[in-house]
C-alpha cells in the first residue's frame, strides 16, 4: 500500500523555505519521470552494473521522501548481484519501481500544483 510522501526532511533541509522545498520537489519530479524508463532500458540491454548504479543514485533522492517501500525496491535492485537475484526477479523489481515512481510522480504533481 502506498503511503503519502513525508516532506519533513525536505523542510529540514530547506529550513522551512517554501521556495526551496518547491525546487526539491521539482528535482524529485524530474527524477521520477526520467529514471524509471532509464532503468527499464538498462535492464532490457542487460546492463546490470549500470542499472544497479542508477538504482543507487535514484535511492539517494527517494530516501528523503519517506517512501520506504519504494526505497526498499531500489535497494533490492542495487544489491541484486550480492543477493544473487535472477534476471526475472530483477525485472519484477524494475517494474514495481516504475509503478511506485508513477504513484509518487502523481503525488508530487499534486503537491506542486498546491504550491503554485
Q: Residue 47: which domain range?
A: 8-115
**Is residue 53 one of the residues assigned to a domain?**
yes
CATH number of residue 18's parent domain: 1.20.120
**Is residue 2 one of the residues assigned to a domain?**
no
pLDDT along the chain (116 residues), means of 10: 80 90 94 97 98 96 90 97 97 97 95 87
Task: Look up residue 108 and give its three cell numbers.
Answer: 508530487
**Is residue 100 one of the residues assigned to a domain?**
yes
**Is residue 23 one of the residues assigned to a domain?**
yes
Distance CA 34, CA 111 (A): 19
pLDDT at position 61 is: 86
**Is residue 3 one of the residues assigned to a domain?**
no
User: pTM for the complete prediction?
Assistant: 0.90
**Is residue 1 one of the residues assigned to a domain?**
no
**Is residue 94 one of the residues assigned to a domain?**
yes
Distance CA 42, CA 22 (A): 30
- Please report, for residues 8, 23, 33, the alpha-carbon distance to residue 15 in angstroms, rounded to integers and kept in the order given: 10, 13, 26
CB atoms within 10 A of CB 76: 18
Measured in whole angstroms, the distance separating CA 110 from the mean position of its chain's CA atoms is: 17
Task: Determine whether 114 is exposed, middle or buried from the number of CB atoms within 10 Å of its CB (0-12, 13-18, 19+).
Answer: exposed
Domain count, the chain: 1
Amino acid at each position: 500500500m502506498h503511503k503519502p510522501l513525508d516532506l519533513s526532511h525536505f523542510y529540514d533541509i530547506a529550513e522551512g523555505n517554501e521556495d526551496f522545498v518547491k525546487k526539491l520537489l521539482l528535482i524529485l519530479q524530474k527524477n521520477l519521470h526520467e529514471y524509471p524508463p532509464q532503468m527499464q532500458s538498462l535492464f532490457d540491454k542487460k546492463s546490470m552494473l549500470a542499472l544497479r548504479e542508477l538504482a543507487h543514485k535514484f535511492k539517494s533522492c527517494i530516501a528523503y521522501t519517506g517512501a520506504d517501500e519504494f526505497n526498499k525496491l531500489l535497494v533490492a535492485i542495487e544489491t541484486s548481484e550480492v543477493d544473487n537475484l535472477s534476471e526475472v526477479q530483477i525485472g519484477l523489481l524494475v517494474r514495481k519501481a516504475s509503478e511506485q515512481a508513477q504513484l509518487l510522480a502523481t503525488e508530487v504533481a499534486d503537491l506542486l500544483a498546491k504550491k503554485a
